[in-house]
Amino acid sequence: MKISIIVPAFNEEKILPACLAAIREATTAFRNSAEWELILCNNNSSDRTAEIAQAAGAQVVFEPINQISRARNRGASVGTGDWFLFIDADSFPSAALFAALLLALRNPRCAGGGCLLRFDQTQPMVALFLRAWNTVSRVMHWAAGSFVFCDANLFRELGGFSEQLFASEEIDFCRRLKEAARRQKRALSIITEERLLTSARKMHLYTTAEYFRFMVKAALIPGRILTNREQCGIWYSGRR
């Protein structure tokens, strides 16, 4: 078994070293059990993102259009693993989480999935959002974009993440992956015994009002909002 670990990154020089160090430490869980490779997609960064990734031993590829779907798909395009694992550049997996991932991948009925999350900060609004998302993830078998794994052949069959979407692309992908898995009598697995530590920085870089406006518009006119970069500024305004 070989796992391609794919990290999309746009101007992440501040947090990327810790992310890549965490990934390398976590891969100790793969020792004698799985091969792995680390691929970083430099999504048109203007800082030292690519240089940091190269110094950390990652294979670096470039995607000129700033979009998370394109960055993930570009990274996957050079992946040689049987499985693709997408981890966001502001996330910090543990060896225990990777060990739980291995158990999931060894199940022949598993086609992909994700894991529950925990944030690096615990303010009340952050905790409320986290609790709500983890509940949805358990019930719907939707993976958070910060940790998505899938059968590489199924990924290619589905055409990867939708490049029409600038947000909620992971939910769209999980829906399509679930349908494809069902045809093969397989399913998606959400790892619940271990959680991914990820950054809550967006909760502080953007106001509650900005989040509320986006969520209302996305709920009322999702086709117009989620396919428009300018409308998805929470992800693309460049605040770091």
The 3 state secondary structure assigned to 107-159 is CCCEEEEEEEEEECCCCHHHHHHHHHHHHHHHHHCCCCCCEEEEEHHHHHHHC
In angstroms, rounded to a whole number, what is the distance separating the alpha carbons of residues 201 and 190?
Answer: 24
Reduced to 3 states (helix: H, G, I; strand: E, B; else coil), residue 38 is strand
pLDDT at position 166: 86
Instruction: Please indicate, yes or no, if residue 113 is contained in any of the structural domains.
Output: yes
C-alpha R_g of the chain: 17
Instruction: Please indicate, yes or no, if residue 208 is contained in any of the structural domains.
Output: no
Which two three-digit tokens encode residue 24?
């390398």
Calculate the CA dihedral of residues 72, 77, 78, 83 and round it to 10 degrees: 70
Per the structure, the complete domain to which residue 53 belongs is given by 2-202
Which residue type sits at 11? N
Phi, psi of 24 (to 5 degrees): -65, -40
CATH number at residue 54: 3.90.550.10
Is residue 112 within 8 Å of 154, Cβ to Cβ? Answer: yes
Is residue 35 within 8 Å of 3, Cβ to Cβ? Answer: yes
Instruction: Please indicate, yes or no, if residue 170 is contained in any of the structural domains.
Output: yes
Instruction: Please indicate, yes or no, if residue 154 is contained in any of the structural domains.
Output: yes
In the chain, DSSP assigns E strands to 2-9, 35-42, 59-62, 83-87, 91-92, 110-119, 147-151, 187-198
Instruction: Please indicate, yes or no, if residue 219 is contained in any of the structural domains.
Output: no
Question: What contacts 84, CB < 8 A, 6 or more positions away?
Answer: 3, 4, 6, 76, 149, 150, 152, 155
Instruction: Please indicate, yes or no, if residue 224 is contained in any of the structural domains.
Output: no
Tokens 């910060």 belong to residue: 146
pLDDT at position 205: 66
Instruction: Please indicate, yes or no, if residue 229 is contained in any of the structural domains.
Output: no
Is residue 93 within 8 Å of 157, Cβ to Cβ? Answer: no
Instruction: Please indicate, yes or no, if residue 76 is contained in any of the structural domains.
Output: yes
For the chain, what is the domain count? 1
pLDDT at position 122: 75
pLDDT tens over the chain, length 240 residues: 999 999 999 999 999 999 999 999 999 999 999 999 999 999 999 999 999 999 999 999 999 999 999 999 999 999 999 999 999 999 999 999 999 999 999 999 999 999 999 998 877 777 888 899 999 999 999 999 999 999 999 999 999 999 999 889 999 999 999 999 999 999 999 999 999 999 877 666 666 677 667 676 767 787 788 888 787 777 677 666
Q: Work out whether the CA dihedral 68, 69, 72, 78 comes out positive or negative.
A: negative
Tokens 């910090």 belong to residue: 92
Which residue type sits at 221? I
